Structure 1
Amino acid sequence: MLKSSDYNLGYVLKLSLISALGGLLFGYDISVISGAIPFITEYFDLNEWWKGFVVSSVYIGCMVGASLAGRLSDRYGRKPMLIVSALLFVISAIGSGIARDLSEFFIYRLIGGFGVGMASLLSPMYIAEIAPAEIRGRFVSLNQFTIVIGILVAYFVNYLLVDIGTNNWRWMFGSEAVPSIIFFAGMFLVPESPRWLIKANKFDEATNILKKIGGNTFAKETQSHIRETLENETRGTFRQLFNKVLRPVLLIGIILAVFQQWSGINVIFFYAPDIFSKTGINIETQLGQTVLVGVVNVTFTIVAILLVDQVGRKTLILIGSAGMAICYIIIGSMFKSDNLQGFGLLIMVLFTIAFYATSLAPVTWVLISEIFPNRIRGLAMAVATFFLWMACYLLTLTFPVMMDIFEGAITFWIYAAICIAGFFFIWRNIPETKGKTLEELEQLLKTREIPANI
């Protein structure tokens, strides 16, 4: 087995960073609305239900994009579908910025959702398929890193644009066109996934790419390993996904995806100004504190990238789940008190973000890209990612109403209970995957006893 120093890390990093621009746009697209909420609420005259619907509308597109991307990428390749997702981001950014009414705004946000759904599945999949096993976790985590960079950039742009006038929200959405065009152009500079090329019997192309990644020996061994795994396997079908061998693995992937969302963290990312407004501060201060949320998110994502291949996926996700549960219990108690202090709430929100960024944020994507067998990886990741976006849609749709009905205490205690349940599920059912090839993981999960009633 080669050491990480034996690989062409510069080449792998280049491919990973370009692909991970899809993650940056994922983060930008879902977060830019955070700063725009107060202004579009006034412009379109939205109540709490409509506010939740408008914020969550992007995730309807995400569900469709994620469900189509896996099968389309298995048929046409990872690279062409990433190019399509980039084009959708461009259309959504410009269209959302010039929308004349709520229906137009909804349609363009939906188109952006298609792009987010595709990129959320394909960017980590592409990176997982070009990165060697010894460094795969760190490189797949780059996708999460670019997601949080996208979130931070969107927060910062919102903060800069808040005082430019009544059309500030239009410029907030339109600004996304710049990174979208860069992503679109960059994808023409990367090769197709070598694993996909081998599945498509394009062995010479795959060999050339693998040689660039790790040299002749690595190319020969990796191609042999992949071909051996695929030799007697047919194209993945939904029926295969639900057979008795793969059904428990699929269920684990779905539960991981749903847990990442129902841990509640995205209500902080999307509704941070609303949450901070409960302390009585003005909109400029709300958006300034939201930038701090983005900075902490980026900082601790870097920590996660450094730790994921050393500490392991399972350990990180257990620590994060427990830490978030404790933070939510404290935040709920703060809302229960008669005197909600802005500084105390900000500190606890930042602690929550730190735990999430070190664990659930990157590790979920790493695990989902690792646990499925090669022949059905695209289809299985599409199913898991569909459920992830459905969970996110329900979370963001219901949060404004929950805060209106229950106020903050019960809402955040519900998220704490979900984190506790997730901790015990992961502790019992998720194997450690660090340092194993995708083919070794397939054999591990085939032979591992997974309770049928999970």
Structure 2
Amino acid sequence: MTAQETQTPPSIAERLDALPFTRKHGRVLAGSGIGWALDAMDVGLISFIIAALVEHWGITKGESGLIASVGFAGMAIGASLGGLLADRVGRRQVFALTLLVYGIATGASALAAGIGMLIALRFLVGLGLGAELPVASTYVSEFAPARIRGRLIVILEAFWAVGWTASALIGYFVVPHGENGWRWAFALGAVPAVYALVVRWGMPESPRWLAGRGRADEAERIIASFEREAGIVNVVPIRLEPARPAARGNRVAALWGSEFRVRTLSIWVVWFCVNFAYYGAFIWIPSILVDAGFGLVRSFGFTLLITLAQLPGYAVAAWLIEVWGRRLTLSVFLLGSAGAAIAFGTVHAVPAIIGSGMALSFFNLGAWGALYAVTPELYPTSLRATGAGWAAGVGRIASIVAPLAVPVMLAAGGAGMTFAVFAVFFVVAAGAAWGLVEHRGKALDDR
């Protein structure tokens, strides 16, 4: 009997974690990141389009909040169902389907003849957007080696800044120019429908998911292709591991079993609070600046500058998350977001508005990167997309409420009170982050 025949076959996690970062990892990250950036572009565009529709259609603040909130209602449903579907039929399939749905619906929004049609289409856009984000982070985390997994997920989330910056550029150069500028902006948002074909045919399925479904041969071929890219040869086939008890039965109920209930409660609180504060602030910043007397084009220019601070926020979080760990990085960036929110709500001079807004972008988006890194690590492969999807879905409830609540808060206490409320939500999220498990450097399925 040879040494190879007597050795214990490596598990799928062991083989994936033993890999160096290869060009194939880069393609998985870039392919998912482009989809992520296109998502951000669509979400970011609506804040500029709402400000334009106030000017061109004369819509009220209540109607503005409804346009934003209905998209988030779709995102809440999409995130919950998308995670469940991805655990059943695969990560790649659901990723491509969601891109197709929201790309087509966004393009169709350019043809909206009235607010009713626009609201209906924004709900469909939300369905696709909501399902895509947790599935993409789950997908990348299942390929990433343990020693750099958190960093890669933060880099994935950094594509959000690329897309949001693209939306700010479109908002500045396209939306304000002519009565139909917002329609052209929506037309550009149809790009994901085309990109869905690239995802469907050009990216591999998650080998962890394939192995969990008993499709060992397919998982083996994908892992072997990554190993060949890294110059690793003559490995023995993967060892399939039996499903753990939490993977059986009702997946949503399993999230609240004795093993997972504390982390589930904690991650749902973090997602809810971060969504409320983030979308409450950033969906309304262009309109708040317009109301402050800066004009449409000038306020869009300020928003573009504020948006640019997102990228360094991600870069710092990507470094710290493998140095400090997930929980400390997340809580520090959330507390920084709270301080920046208070400052933004109380300043009036242009340099202070831009500076505090950039600080809010820096800390808030760094926190988002850490949040997306820690969420898939909380659950085993059989529950991962479901757990991430439901956490995101609960967060989207807050993103529905926030755009509707902001006009009420502005009327009651102005920008100062509104951003103080956002700061409180950030502080609560920072506290809840300490109920999460720390997985820095650990295998993805370690409990």
TM norm. shorter chain > 0.5: yes
Unaligned runs of 5+ in 1: 335-339, 443-454
Residue 64 of structure 1 aligns with which residue?
A: 77
Do the aligned partners of residues 229 and 220 (structure 1) sit closer, same or farther apart at CA in structure 2, a change above 3 Å counting? farther
- Taking the aligned partners of 2:264 and 2:117, their CA distance within structure 1 comes to 37
Do the aligned partners of residues 271 and 186 (structure 1) sit closer, same or farther apart at CA in structure 2, a change above 3 Å counting? same
Do the aligned partners of residues 431 and 70 (structure 1) sit closer, same or farther apart at CA in structure 2, a change above 3 Å counting? closer
Q: CA deviation at 1:2?
A: 8.6
Amino acid paired to 1:248: V
Of 361, 380, 385, which aligns to 1:378?
385
Of 399, 403, 413, which aligns to 1:396?
403
Q: CA deviation at 1:170?
A: 0.6
Q: For structure 1, which segment, 307-316 or 384-393, has the greater mean C-alpha deviation from structure 2 after superposition? A: 307-316
Residues 325 and 438 of structure 2 are in contact (CA less than 8 Å); yes or no, is this contact kept in structure 1?
yes
Unaligned runs of 5+ in 2: 1-13
Residues 305 and 354 of structure 2 are in contact (CA less than 8 Å); yes or no, is this contact kept in structure 1?
no
Residue 442 of structure 2 aligns with which residue?
A: 436
Of 327, 338, 342, which aligns to 1:329?
342
Residues 8 and 214 of structure 1 are in contact (CA less than 8 Å); yes or no, is this contact kept in structure 2?
no
Q: CA deviation at 1:154?
A: 0.8
Residue 184 of structure 1 aligns with which residue?
A: 197
Do the aligned partners of residues 125 and 233 (structure 1) sit closer, same or farther apart at CA in structure 2, a change above 3 Å counting? closer
CA deviations over 1:32-69 (Å, ceiling 9, x no partner) = 01211122224443222211111221111101111111
1:113 matched to 2:120: no
Residues 86 and 184 of structure 1 are in contact (CA less than 8 Å); yes or no, is this contact kept in structure 2?
no
Q: CA deviation at 1:317?
A: 1.4
Q: CA deviation at 1:258?
A: 1.1
- Taking the aligned partners of 1:71 and 1:109, their CA distance within structure 2 comes to 22
Residue 449 of structure 1 aligns with which residue?
A: none
1:260 matched to 2:266: no
Residues 20 and 124 of structure 1 are in contact (CA less than 8 Å); yes or no, is this contact kept in structure 2?
no
Of 234, 252, 258, which aligns to 2:248?
234
Residue 175 of structure 2 aligns with which residue?
A: 162
- Taking the aligned partners of 2:156 and 2:204, their CA distance within structure 1 comes to 18
CA deviations over 1:256-310 (Å, ceiling 9, x no partner) = 2112213x23333222212222442121111111111221112321222233223
| Percent of paired sites with the same residue | 23
1:354 matched to 2:362: yes
Residues 56 and 179 of structure 2 are in contact (CA less than 8 Å); yes or no, is this contact kept in structure 1?
no
Residues 158 and 311 of structure 2 are in contact (CA less than 8 Å); yes or no, is this contact kept in structure 1?
yes
- Note the 1:306-317 alignment, pairs <5 A: 306-317=319-330
1:52 matched to 2:65: yes
Of 127, 143, 149, which aligns to 2:140?
127
Q: For structure 1, which segment, 10-19 or 229-238, has the greater mean C-alpha deviation from structure 2 after superposition? A: 229-238
Residue 419 of structure 2 aligns with which residue?
A: 412
1:345 matched to 2:353: yes
Of 207, 213, 237, which aligns to 2:226?
213
Do the aligned partners of residues 123 and 256 (structure 1) sit closer, same or farther apart at CA in structure 2, a change above 3 Å counting? same
SS at match of 2:437: coil
Do the aligned partners of residues 69 and 162 (structure 1) sit closer, same or farther apart at CA in structure 2, a change above 3 Å counting? closer
- Taking the aligned partners of 1:382 and 1:65, their CA distance within structure 2 comes to 8
- Taking the aligned partners of 2:320 and 2:30, their CA distance within structure 1 comes to 19
Indicate the RMSD between aligned Cα atoms, in angstroms: 2.4
- Taking the aligned partners of 2:123 and 2:215, their CA distance within structure 1 comes to 36
Of 220, 230, 246, which aligns to 2:260?
246
Do the aligned partners of residues 321 and 395 (structure 1) sit closer, same or farther apart at CA in structure 2, a change above 3 Å counting? same
Q: CA deviation at 1:373?
A: 2.4
Alignment: residue pair count? 431
TM-score with structure 1 setting the length: 0.88
SS at match of 1:98: coil
Amino acid paired to 2:293: G
Amino acid paired to 2:442: K
Amino acid paired to 1:137: G
Residues 267 and 436 of structure 2 are in contact (CA less than 8 Å); yes or no, is this contact kept in structure 1?
no
1:98 matched to 2:111: yes
Of 408, 420, 424, which aligns to 2:431?
424
- Taking the aligned partners of 1:432 and 1:333, their CA distance within structure 2 comes to 36
Residues 28 and 153 of structure 1 are in contact (CA less than 8 Å); yes or no, is this contact kept in structure 2?
yes
SS at match of 1:46: coil
Residues 279 and 341 of structure 1 are in contact (CA less than 8 Å); yes or no, is this contact kept in structure 2?
no
